[in-house]
Amino acid sequence: MAEIIEPRTLRGFRDSLPETESRKLEIQQELTRVFRSFGLVPIDTPAMEYAEILLGKGGGETDKQVYRFLDHGQRHVALRFDLTVPFARFMAAHYHELPLPFKRYHMGKVWRGENTQRGRYREFIQIDFDIVGVDSSSADFEIMTIMAESMVSLKIRAFHVHFSHRQLFNELLENMGLAGVYLPVLQAIDKLKKIGAREVEAQLVEISGKQRAREILGFITTEATNRETLNKLCSALPKGSQAVARLESILQCIEPCELDSVLLLDPSITRGLDYYTGVVFETFLDRVPDIGSVCSGGRYNDLASLYTKEKLPGVGASIGLDRLVSALEDLGVSSSAKTAPDILVVFLDEPLLGVYHKLSKSLRENGLSAEIYPSEKKLKAQLKYAEKRGIPLAIFHGENEKGRNEYNLRDLRTRQNYEALSFEGLLDKASELLK
């Protein structure tokens, strides 16, 4: 006999069992509905690309994590490690055949050979959405609205989309004569939500002295309302600040849409990536702050400069599906994804197999999902299977019932029986019980 190969998966890679997979699909479906309601369209790109395309300038931390190899034609290829780089390449290749501005969403797997000790996975699903080809506050605000409506659609009640503008700090530090320490100041502030205000203050004091540190901390605090925060920024910055003007325009959209309590102007948001040039945003769940942002993004002024001379400004955000799934679990948000059909047709008499299949077909035609236990096993085994699957209803239809054209229905949750039903009666009772 051949040796058995142990059926293991690679570290950092996971099987998705029916319950988890149903949940993931349910979330993707909900988000799709939201994206579509805003006129976003779906795209996909290959999982594998030329390494030079995906790595671009290269040299970053991500690079070491990228899965790269030689393919059958000795080409240097790599697996995508995010959906942003492939999207940039996609836009460079297709912008001339697409309507601009182009609004797309993209859901797909990405791979990173990360250190799994930090609870990270090496295969995960990203969900990205962007509006490309326009630099406007309307597009900025629309992306934020999509972020907020995405959270609402997933029944997350307590969340905030924190937003700011990357240029605020350039302008502020220049105004304070601190342009030289821009990077260390930003790095300190970026840690605010992780290490707290006191620790950040200590770091800022070291960089810029006590007085400046106080001023910077005062600047990045959120006030009671977005308007008050904006007024504070206004007074700290030189007149004609483009960052303030853009934020002002965004507030003028937030207010009539009554999103004040959800979209929060928060000058402490900086986002680490050089990539962003305008508004930036992060989404925090009030009741599970520790997991960090579940949906982040911002405005970039040139998406695809590596691949085309065409200027493609845009704004977008990204959701990590796997992190979101565990956040929803932590929040106790229940899923309405079902993994069981409505009805099990019990296999009582072998000669009635055709009758069972016809019955199952009629149930499906009437909008119910149904399966037939696929072999003539003891009733106990069949009902145990139904219980394990979580199937709520069972139909019993043996030779006797067939003779009388009758069906017996059992609610497996309450063990209540409903006997001698006509087919119409069966449909009515089943629909009633499933409500």
Answer for the pair 79, 67: CB distance below 8 angstroms, yes or no.
Answer: yes
DSSP 19: H
By C-beta, is 197 or 353 nearer to a copy of itself? Answer: 353
Task: Provide, rounded to whole angstroms, the least separation between the CB of residue 419 and a copy of itself.
Answer: 24
Task: Provide, rounded to whole angstroms, the least separation between the CB of residue 232 and a copy of itself.
Answer: 22
E strand or H helix that includes residue 203: helix 197-208
By C-beta, is 73 or 177 nearer to a copy of itself? Answer: 73
Task: Provide, rounded to whole angstroms, the least separation between the CB of residue 341 and a copy of itself.
Answer: 3
Answer for the pair 262, 244: CB distance below 8 angstroms, yes or no.
Answer: no
Task: Provide, rounded to whole angstroms, the least separation between the CB of residue 188 and a copy of itself.
Answer: 31
Task: Provide, rounded to whole angstroms, the least separation between the CB of residue 395 and a copy of itself.
Answer: 13
Query: What is the distance between the alpha carbons of residues 340 and 94, in angstroms, rounded to a whole number?
Result: 42
DSSP 373: -
Q: Is 345 helix (H, G, I), strand (E, B) or coil?
A: strand
Tokens found for residue 330: 């932590």
Task: Provide, rounded to whole angstroms, the least separation between the CB of residue 56 and a copy of itself.
Answer: 7
Residue 105: strand pairing partners? 42, 129
Task: Provide, rounded to whole angstroms, the least separation between the CB of residue 245 and a copy of itself.
Answer: 12
By C-beta, is 141 or 276 nearer to a copy of itself? Answer: 141
Answer for the pair 181, 169: CB distance below 8 angstroms, yes or no.
Answer: no
Query: What is the distance between the alpha carbons of residues 96 and 116, in angstroms, rounded to a whole number?
Result: 41
By C-beta, is 254 or 317 nearer to a copy of itself? Answer: 254
Answer for the pair 52, 76: CB distance below 8 angstroms, yes or no.
Answer: yes
By C-beta, is 18 or 209 nearer to a copy of itself? Answer: 18
By C-beta, is 153 or 318 nearer to a copy of itself? Answer: 153
The residues, ordered by sequence, that sit 6+ positions from 424 with a Cβ below 8 Å of its Cβ are none
Task: Provide, rounded to whole angstroms, the least separation between the CB of residue 322 and a copy of itself.
Answer: 12
Query: What is the distance between the alpha carbons of residues 303 and 276, in angstroms, rounded to a whole number?
Result: 10
| 337 half-sphere exposure, CB direction, 13 A CA radius | 18
Residues in the chain: 435
By C-beta, is 69 or 329 nearer to a copy of itself? Answer: 69
Task: Provide, rounded to whole angstroms, the least separation between the CB of residue 94 and a copy of itself.
Answer: 7
Task: Provide, rounded to whole angstroms, the least separation between the CB of residue 209 and a copy of itself.
Answer: 39
By C-beta, is 16 or 170 nearer to a copy of itself? Answer: 16
DSSP 327: H
By C-beta, is 101 or 425 nearer to a copy of itself? Answer: 101
Ramachandran region, residue 280 (left: φ > 0; alpha: ψ -120 to 50; beta: rest): beta
Q: Dihedral angle at the C-alpha atoms of 18, 23, 25, 30, nearest 10 degrees?
A: 160
* Short-list 359, 368, 360, 363, CA closest to 341: 368
Task: Provide, rounded to whole angstroms, the least separation between the CB of residue 15 and a copy of itself.
Answer: 5
Q: Residue 319: what are its φ and ψ, rounded to 5°?
A: -115, 130
Q: Is 393 helix (H, G, I), strand (E, B) or coil?
A: strand
* Short-list 186, 368, 399, CA closest to 273: 186
By C-beta, is 84 or 268 nearer to a copy of itself? Answer: 84
By C-beta, is 44 or 206 nearer to a copy of itself? Answer: 44
